[in-house]
Chains A and B, each alone.
Chain A
């Protein structure tokens, strides 16, 4: 079980992993559109209180995935010239699955509405019913867990794809992820005017 959740890149063929990754990416675009999710950055998912046009989610997903794939691939190649593009594509597609799961918490815009009301009036937190407060805490912890899971999968995929050992690949990986976030934010900011 641990192998499937954290080390799928070691035991499954590229065809299996690529199919699962593409399937989840397609489903996530549809879910984000109806549940109010934005993939507005290489490592971002934000929940809003209204449906998002399918084209917007598609473009956001495409830019987020491509920026992460390209930056991690470039830095993977720097570390190990044998790094294959397909392994990095699979790494990014599979690692993003936990991010897609976060969308489920926004059914009926539950999480975004709550966050919005607390953003307007932080003092409202004290007046929330106990059950809602516990739910909010549990959901926040689960979202945090999914984000950690995403990074663990991303690192494990990178490690397998590049045969990473020692501290050098760790630094390259961190730089690649930060740069991917910056690049994706920049491109998404630009495409807002185009779409």
Chain B
């Protein structure tokens, strides 16, 4: 599966959507759309959030499944919360 890039490889700014297309009728919509917050996270961060939901928010179960210690998983979540808050404050 191709990973959707969220950061510009040239200047490291946040990328935006400039074109959407219909695979059925080939209609193309052009514009300047900001990526949804979740898509601005890296693939690994999105995967972490999915795991968090799938484990019903239990960091202990996640740690067991990922083979990591509880504080390591909690630190990852704390860093992610900080990153989301940073993205939110930038888009406001």
What range describes how many residues of A lie at the interface? 10 to 19
- How far is the CB of A159 from the nearest CB of chain B, in Å? 9
Please list the residues of chain A having a beta carbon within 8 angstroms of any beta carbon in chain B.
Answer: 9-14, 17, 82, 84, 87, 160-161, 163
Residue pair A10, B70 in contact (C-beta under 8 Å): no
Residues of B within 8 A of A (CB): 63-64, 67-72, 74-75, 78-79
Q: Knowing A13-B63, A82-B78 touch, does A160 contact B71 (C-beta < 8 A)?
A: yes
In the bound complex, do residue B63 and residue A160 qualify as a contact, i.e. CB atoms below 8 Å apart?
A: no
**How far apart are B53's CB and chain A's nearest CB, in angstroms?**
21
Cα-based distance from A12 to B69 in the complex (angstroms): 5
| Contact in complex: B71, A11 (CB < 8 Å) | no
Chain B: which residue is nearest A13 at the CB level?
Answer: B69
Instruction: Indicate if the CB atoms of B74 and A13 lie closer than 8 Å.
Output: no
Q: Whose C-beta in chain B lies nearest to the C-beta of A17?
A: B69
Identify the closest chain B residue to A10 (Cβ). B72
Other than the given A14-B70, A163-B78, 11 more pairs (CB < 8 A) read A10-B72, A11-B67, A11-B68, A13-B63, A13-B69, A84-B71, A87-B70, A87-B71, A160-B69, A160-B75, A161-B71
